[in-house]
Amino acid sequence: MAFCSGPAAGPATKFFEERFQNASPLARVGLIETLAQAENEHGAARSLFEKAQSDGDPKVRFHAARANCYLSPIAVGTNGASQARQNAIPVFVELLNDPQLAVDAARELGRIGSDANPAISPLKRLIQSAPSDAQVYFAIALWNIEKDTQIILPVLLEAVGSEDDLVRASVAQVLCEIAPESKGAADALFGLYDDPSFAVRWHAKQCSKGR
């Protein structure tokens, strides 16, 4: 349910904009998230999100860019929503340099997909240098952007042995997409059928049902 809608949406947006400037970084993030919930109903907060993408705090920039990515075409029009996503891409690419936000930024770039091609080179560098569990998320983002297995498949196959259930479940989802064209991916996916985690087993077996 939207936080505010209809005639109240405009005044509510102005209320938040007036308080945004002098708020703490944490409060600015909260204001962005609150307005993002209302965006399904109206597009008046778009200018605030755009400005906040240049905020001095990286977490504020991240949340503003993410809010821009989820602007409703109903609220801002199809072209407006598409342009907002395009404007968010450089913010996420820059945040790949932030150790605390790099994985979250990579996830958002992966959700954007092929339009996020400026992230390809930075993601490839991170796959080579980041800790192993983080490499997985950079590899998944790269797959969602360019659908090339050459770099990511070795990372995914190694991550099958991760101790983190969430990592293995994420790997299973991507291996499912790759398996039809890669025996290595198919074999690794089959090996996850007996994984101790229900979520991992579910993703692996759902893949086999879909083929």
**Amino acid identity, residue 161?**
G
pLDDT digits (tens, 9 = 90+) for 42-58: 556 778 888 899 999 99
- The pLDDT, as a whole number, for residue 208 is 67
For the chain, 211 residues long, the average pLDDT of each consecutive 10-residue run is 39 70 88 75 71 93 90 62 87 96 96 94 95 92 94 94 94 92 90 94 80 54
Give the number of other Cβ atoms within 10 Å of residue 4's Cβ: 19
What is the value of pTM for the model shown?
0.84
